[in-house]
């Protein structure tokens, strides 16, 4: 059911990413997402980057719909439905957050004094929410080496001890695939947030499915052992028409 909320504030996080805050009374859990409708443009999934008090989404200006959302201002209406999907498993102990690009948006509500981060991006100015970790608890990886390690999160992981109660991963699927391949057999408390093109958000249209699981409903959060059973993970996705396409 479509609802609408007024945008309370807007904050530019990076040159291409902004956070929009709004009051919404629904109970949301970390890792869940909403569908955001821009009338006349499109409707896309967005994780909640804040789930308590004033809620928020953190949006990367990517294509037409996200651009339209990012161009909104405080006072404007946001058309949303949700929250949808299964949340992360929360733990009390030491945790590692591995986020690539806008993937950090979904992980943001987990960040606390017991959290370590591996934040990756194309370039230094696009590193999202790295500043929210306590000093010394965040590792950075950039494609161009403008900050932190030049490379991918896996290049960071190789250098650190994996002694965490839970590892949370969110980012582009190929990045997550490399993280999965690296972690496999080393640790088993890992959760991944998958991202697929979503049309319905409610388990009907099949456009988000990975090996028979609907990312919108069975996910977006999956445990590493579930990911292990997904033949399509990191390999195949269906295009907007339904055409099987290599990743």
Partner 1 sequence: MTDLSTRIAGIYLGNPLMLASGILDENGYTMKRILEEGASAVVTKSIGLKERSGYSTPVVADLGHGDLLNAVGLSNPGIDKYGEEIKIAREARKPIIGSIFGSTPEEFSILAKKMEEFGVSAVELNLSCPHVKGEGLEIGSDPEMVESIVEAVKNSIKIPVFSKLSANTSSIMETVNAASKSDGFVLINTIRAMAIDIYAKKPVLSNGYGGLSGRSIKPVGIRYVYEVKKETGAQIIGVGGVSNAEDVIEYMMAGASAVQIGTAVGFHGRSIFRDIEKDLFGLAEKIGFSKISDLVGAAL
Ligand X SMILES: Cc1cc2nc3c(=O)[nH]c(=O)nc-3n(C[C@H](O)[C@H](O)[C@H](O)COP(=O)(O)OP(=O)(O)OC[C@H]3O[C@@H](n4cnc5c(N)ncnc54)[C@H](O)[C@@H]3O)c2cc1C
Contact residues for ligand X, defined by CB under 6 A: 33, 42, 44-47, 57-60, 62-66, 102, 105-106, 195-198, 220, 240
Query: Edge-to-edge strand order for the sheet containing 221-223?
Result: 149-150, 138-142, 115-121, 95-100, 166-170, 190-193, 221-223
CB of 184 to ligand X, least distance (A): 23
* CB 86, min distance to ligand FES, A: 12
- Using CB under 8 A as the binding rule, whether residue 67 contacts partner 1 is answered as no
> Is 184 an interacting residue with respect to ligand FMN (CB under 6 A)?
no
Distance CA 245, CA 247 (A): 6
In the set 162, 204, 223, 231, which binds ligand FES (CB under 6 A)?
204
* Sign of the C-alpha dihedral computed for residues 5, 29, 194 and 132 taken in this order: positive
**Residue 202 binds ligand FMN (CB under 6 A):** no
- Our measurement of the distance from residue 177's CA atom to the centroid of its chain's CA atoms, rounded to an integer in Å, reads 15
Strand partners, 10: 20
Give me the residue label for tokens 């821009």.
38
Q: Confirm or reject binding of residue 204 to ligand FMN (CB under 6 A).
A: yes
**Contact positions vs partner 1 (CB under 8 A):** 1-2, 4, 35, 37, 39-40, 42-44, 65, 77, 79, 81, 199-200, 202-207, 209-214, 217, 231-232, 238-244
């Amino acid at each position: 059911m479509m609802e609408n909320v007024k945008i309370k504030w807007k904050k530019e996080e990076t040159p291409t990413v902004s956070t929009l805050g709004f009051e919404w009374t629904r109970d949301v859990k970390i890792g869940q997402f909403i569908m955001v409708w821009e009338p006349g443009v499109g409707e896309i999934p967005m994780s909640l980057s804040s789930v308590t008090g004033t809620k928020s989404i953190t949006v990367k200006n990517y294509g037409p719909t996200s651009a339209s959302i990012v161009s909104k201002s405080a006072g404007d209406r946001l058309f949303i439905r949700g929250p949808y999907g299964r949340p992360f498993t929360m733990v009390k102990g030491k945790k590692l957050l591995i986020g690539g690009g806008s993937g950090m948006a979904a992980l943001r509500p987990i960040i606390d004094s017991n959290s370590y981060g591996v934040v990756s991006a194309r370039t230094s100015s696009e590193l999202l929410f790295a500043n929210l970790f306590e000093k010394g608890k965040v590792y950075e990886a950039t494609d161009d080496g403008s900050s932190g390690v030049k490379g991918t999160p896996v290049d960071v992981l190789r250098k650190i001890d994996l002694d965490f109660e839970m590892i949370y991963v969110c980012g582009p699927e190929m990045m997550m695939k490399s993280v999965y391949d690296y972690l496999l057999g080393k640790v088993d408390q890992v959760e991944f947030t998958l991202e697929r093109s979503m049309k319905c958000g409610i388990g009907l249209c099949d456009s988000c499915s990975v090996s028979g699981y609907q990312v919108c409903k069975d996910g977006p959060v999956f445990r590493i052992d579930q990911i292990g059973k997904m033949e399509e993970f990191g390999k195949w996705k269906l295009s907007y028409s339904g055409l099987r396409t290599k990743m």
